[in-house]
Structure 1
């Protein structure tokens, strides 16, 4: 099947822009890495979203152009007819990133809150790059935004079935450069950086915990040991091993949902949800998975306390297989 050339070009340029962002970030001595990564990554997102908008409008170029009313011979604006607005070089101006997102949402493509906030955080870095002066104080935070950006980029390609063969690009084998997280005194951080970090923190604090496809930032802690990685062995159960204790608060965080909360959220999440034998059978099977279901005492200090079951957020992955999600 023949693919529209403009659509294909937008996809190719988007991928090349994201690869360039990763490559530049990973350079061993590049003092403008965070700002350059943000500029190229946002350019990649804009091209990708424009490609999707173009495809969704039967490859009509007007769908990605900034349009203005046609001026009639009498000098007034036509009520219906429009034409592309031209730039200083007399070329058609295209929509900006957030205009594209609004248009996609109008025609039924959901841009989740987490994805939107992830993009906004990088746009803010790009727009305010001049204020940061290549300061290393936010390197780790930008790295965490970068990890989420790459994960989100790959996920949206899969979800929308865009014509990009991810197997040809080893995004997941290209971790961003290791950044040593050092404690920096408060006096070193400028006012602009404080404002930016607070901007990102507010988005992370209000993130949608049920959105498993997209993240705002991904925290990855790296530690080095002298052990030979080829001989290292991962965790395993051993009767004589050292016990690991997880606090009650940690268990509540891992398994936050009650049965009623799952049921109520499922009604809102799925278009074909019905509570009946089918749903009860699914929940019965889920209870057998210790990674999703956990029973705990309502009063941990009492031996006679009632026991109640709780579910982790991974339950949505299982229910997504059985029901149709709302757009």
Structure 2
């Protein structure tokens, strides 16, 4: 049995998406975000056209661009296919296709999917006129791009029963860089100009349409970098170095501080009482005081961060426990 016309478009759409992933995940490729957006938009356009053809019994006119033209006699107008410079009939673009599918009662898309496609178009359009170099933009494009892949995989499976699991639809995390690249990519920077405006637009729209895992379509996904204590030799080394003038500045919020330094003095002592031979005596204080000067283990902060006149108190990282316990075993 001959395969329906829309089937070949689904296959081409899948290959375009795979190409987008391969380019994005290629090590050392400097134009990854812009190229990804171009290829991913192509994948979406082909998939949407396939959906329209399926709904219209493979009639090409359903995806062609027709426009009114004056008849040869000049007595009126009639619809005729719009031609490109090569003389071929033009077809609809990705957004017109998305708006058509949006109207379907079944197997359609929603406003989140359309907004995600629109943001990919912004990235592509800016890439044509500017070189989007921005540390914050890397993270924003990954969030939008990961959502685009997630949306695409859902639509392909739902509309055409096309399982894409074999292609490992995933973007390599931006954290797979040098330690300097990790910090610069994830935390805010002072980018200005065209790339900065684009990054702001992506951030604003992601806040307007927050990610919901239960929804089939999303505008963006959350990308978060966490520092985890790990003895693995292959892990990226991150060292707190407050006295190094070349160290990268990382600003921690009050919430971050509470997560990293959750113990007060009483909590620390309570944890140490489980250690054999421990006593809260002068020996303990001599061991503890030098460790309190290590910013990895202890921080002094206001009890009420909103009040600068509030009293201060030491808070400890659970890591200090190991440093003290080793003197009792």
Deviations 1:75-129 (Å, cap 9, x if unpaired)?
Answer: 24445xx332110110010011111122223343542121111111111000111
Aligned to 2:195: 193
Aligned to 2:131: 133
**C-alpha contact 1:22 1:176 (8 A) present in aligned 2:** no
**C-alpha contact 2:132 2:195 (8 A) present in aligned 1:** no
TM-score, normalised to structure 2's length? Answer: 0.61
Deviations 1:272-297 (Å, cap 9, x if unpaired)?
Answer: xxxxxxxxxxxxxxxxxxxxxxxxxx
**Partner-residue secondary structure (3-state), 1:48:** helix
The answer for unaligned runs of 5 or more in structure 1 is: 230-243, 245-327
**C-alpha contact 2:130 2:194 (8 A) present in aligned 1:** yes
**Partner-residue secondary structure (3-state), 1:90:** coil
**Partner-residue secondary structure (3-state), 2:35:** helix
User: 1:67-216 residue pairs with structure 2 within 5 A?
Assistant: 67-69=66-68, 71-79=70-78, 82-108=79-105, 110-137=108-135, 138-160=137-159, 162-172=160-170, 175-176=172-173, 178=176, 180-182=182-184, 183=187, 185-186=189-190, 189-207=191-209, 212-216=215-219
**Partner-residue secondary structure (3-state), 2:91:** coil
- RMSD across aligned C-alpha pairs, in angstroms? 2.7
Aligned to 1:3: 3
The answer for unaligned runs of 5 or more in structure 2 is: 234-258, 260-329
TM-score, normalised to structure 1's length? Answer: 0.61
Larger radius of gyration: 2
* Deviating 4+ runs (over 6 angstroms): 208-211
CA distance change for structure 1 residues 77 and 16 in 2, over 3 Å: closer, same or farther? Answer: farther
* More RCO (CA 8 Å, sep 6+): 1
